[in-house]
Amino acid sequence: MTRQQALKLVQEKVTTKNLVKHMLAVEAGMRALAPRFNGNPDRWALAGLIHDLDYEQTKDRPDRHGHVTVDFLKAQGFGDPEIMNAILAHAGHKTPETPMEWALTAVDPLTGLIVAASLVHPQRLAGLTPENVLNRYKEKGFARSASREGIALCSNLGLSLEEFVEVVLSAMKGVRQDLGL
């Protein structure tokens, strides 16, 4: 599957603009992390782009989140088990094992925290620093849905929280116009 094919699927299946932006943010973070783990940036980015393809369909059935996407991809003849396992791991249906699985599981909530931090920053994403994000990370009441436990899984990649935030924030700044931030 190419990025264009994946983006077309996202545009067909996802109606919430903010969810599309979230998927683009995760795509950017995954692309930036891939080279650090000898991963293919295009494949890692693809996992990030389609990881929540079924979110709207399954928000009332979290036990199906991820599974619906994987079943759909299999039916379309897309058989990349590494990407499908990463999607299932991010949704909590399997314990992450590979760097791609750990990365997707940790990048997903971090992008939410970064978006929330940018929305209260006077210069939005352009002016946000890793220190700003780390300060917000420490505020338990800020962006509660951005799982601090999920973000902290970056340690399973051998990355400090500071380094992880820096990489993902930089990647998101690279696509900030697509994110509207």
At how many degrees (to 10) do helices 161-174 and 99-119 cross? 70
End-to-end CA distance of the chain: 28
Calpha distance 126→129 (Å, rounded): 9
Ranges of each domain in the chain: 3-173
Please say whether the beta carbons of 47 and 88 come within 8 A.
no
Nearest to 23 by CA among 43, 6, 1, 5: 6
CATH fold of 3-173 reads: Hypothetical protein af1432 (1.10.3210)
Give pLDDT tens digits along the chain (181 positions).
999 999 999 999 999 999 999 999 999 999 999 999 999 999 999 999 999 999 999 999 999 999 999 999 999 998 799 999 999 999 999 999 999 999 999 999 999 999 999 999 999 999 999 999 999 999 989 999 999 999 999 999 999 999 999 999 999 999 999 999 9
